[in-house]
Amino acid sequence: MNRRTAFLIILSCYWCGPTLLAGSVSLQPCESRGLPDDAQCGKYRVHENRAARSGRSIDLNVVVLPAQSESKQPDPLFALAGGPGQAASHLAPIFVGMKGIRRDRDIVLVDQRGTGGSNGLACLPEDRSEAIESILSFRFEDLEECRSQAEADLTLYTTDIAMDDLDELRQALGYEKINLWGGSYGSRAALVYLRRHPERVRTVVLRGVAPPPLLVPLSFGKGAQKALDAVFTACRQDSDCNAAFPGLRKEWKNLQRQVRESPTHVSVRVPRGEAELGVNHDTLVNSVLFMLYDSASARLIPSFIASASKGDWKPLMGFGAGFSAVLSTQLSLGMTLSVLCAEDVAFFEKEAVEQSVRGTFLGSALVDNLVDACQQWPVGEVSEGYHEHVRSDVPVLMLSGEFDPVTPPGWAEAAASYLPNSLHIVMPNTGHVPAHPGCSRDLFVRFIRQGSVEGLDASCVQGMKRPAFQTRG
């Protein structure tokens, strides 16, 4: 898998500091590799049941990257992670080097309840190969042990509740207003915070936009098919790629038929060892889905399909297994299910599901497997009107990848209709990676500094090109 993607996912933060009483927060120097010397870490205690304000409590893990200027701005940047199920601490590498933001503003990373060090709900099999295959297929056969061992009311780990945690922490840290950054699921969380606490938000940056009306993963089928079709088309139009892989679409269809009729196994290298992986329809198509997340890995798809067609599954399945191995080390699956089962799956309608998967290479397996998992999982409640678009006059910058397989640009376009002070930028030839490729970082920094989309010239993104295809082994 792509080194940059792996690095962004792998890094985790181990907090220091004492357990604190509710309403107080104390920051101390972090004891974690990969963070700058001035980084501050701590814990903040909230009630698990915010409505009752009694019973079990949760210590939220917090890291602050302090502004480097003595005359810093009073409004920090709060970064919200994706997944759902990833901890915000995993975003640290993105922001450590962002001098344009860190010069003037604190950057605050809070592990959302149920993730990372905030009562993380891991819920994956102990066997490494089994955990990797579970992530890659999104098939979880038995969640009873996880439910019984979790020290949590699993119905209380939804986005609404988590964003109220975040606002309580904002107040405890002494910030009057904040800027929000959210990637993928984090964009949904940011919009929910904006709806629930509008007076506390100065600006919002959304990358890979997943607004509340989007039911995950119903957008994946069509989005992934469009992204894969674009890879095939680009390969055909590239003389070198077309010469190396002239029968690409046919080979891909043959591979799908082959694994349906004759599933197999392969041993592949993953971070820190090897894994035995089943090669079946679910693991095959999801390996390709993961490759489509980033244009740097999408460029390998023709070569990997050709290798698999010759009987060598290791390149293609190795990527899927490697991506899943990284996720398995830091994905809090219990939180993933608490969010998706309550906010998405509970609202699936048969006709919408059938339409979402019709004519797509992903098919219905991902949706079906998630529905099966949710039948084993306690389902929380969402607030009235939760799935309506968020309306706000707050300045919002939205960034979409042209070929994002899971949060395609159309969802940001729909959200923009309700955000009159927003700007939506579609970055050509890019996917879903939650960083800031090309000149989009400069646009992000300029937007935060001026607090408005006025005058932002996004023409620079037109220079983003698809990386050259790999045509040799």
| Strands 264-270, 273-279: pairing kind | antiparallel
Residue 341 lies in a domain: no
For β-strands 57-65 and 107-110, DSSP reports them as: antiparallel
| Predicted pLDDT at 434 | 55
Whole-number Å distance between alpha carbons of 319 and 300: 10
In terms of Cα–Cα distance, which of 83, 86, 101, 71 is closest to 406? 83
3-state DSSP assignment of residue 47: strand
Spell out the residues 6+ positions from residue 385 whose beta carbon is closer than 8 angstroms to its own: none
Residues 6+ away with beta carbon under 8 Å from 279: 259, 263, 264, 265, 266, 313, 317
Q: Which of 135, 266, 213, 240 is nearest to 390 (CA)?
A: 213
- How far apart CA 317 and CA 319 sit, in angstroms, is 5
- Helix, strand and coil content of the chain, in percent to the nearest 5, comes to 45, 15, 40
Domain containing residue 392: 3-125+154-216+386-463
Q: Answer whether residue 403 is part of any domain.
A: yes
Do 317 and 266 meet the contact criterion of CB atoms below 8 Å apart?
Answer: yes
262 belongs to a structural domain:
no
Tell me the residue ranges of DSSP E strands in 66-124: 77-80, 107-110
* Number of domains within the chain: 1
- Residue 362 within any structural domain of the chain: no
- The pLDDT value recorded for residue 141 is 77
HSE (side-chain half, CA atoms, 13 Å) at 115: 29
- The per-residue pLDDT for 299 is 96
228 found inside a domain:
no
Among candidate residues 341, 68, 83, the one with its CA nearest the CA of residue 188:
83
Report the alpha-carbon distance of residue 306 to residue 312 in Å, rounded. 9
Q: Is the four-CA dihedral 275, 280, 286, 290 of positive or negative sign?
A: positive
Please state the separation of Cα 71 from the chain's center in Å.
Answer: 33
| 38 inside domain | yes
Q: If we measure between CA atoms, which residue out of 213, 181, 228, 219 comes closest to residue 82?
A: 181
pLDDT of residue 376: 93
Largest Cα separation within the chain, whole Å, is 67
pTM of the model: 0.93
CATH code at position 26: 3.40.50.1820
Are 435 and 97 in contact, with CB atoms under 8 Å apart?
no
Instruction: Indicate whether 328 belongs to any domain.
Output: no
Residue 116 located in a structural domain: yes
pLDDT of residue 473: 63
Q: Average pLDDT by consecutive 10-residue portion of the chain (473 residues)?
A: 40 31 75 85 96 95 93 96 93 86 95 96 87 90 87 97 98 96 96 98 97 95 97 97 96 96 93 88 96 95 97 96 89 95 97 95 94 95 97 98 96 97 96 78 94 95 92 79
Neighbours of 313 (CB within 10 A): 23
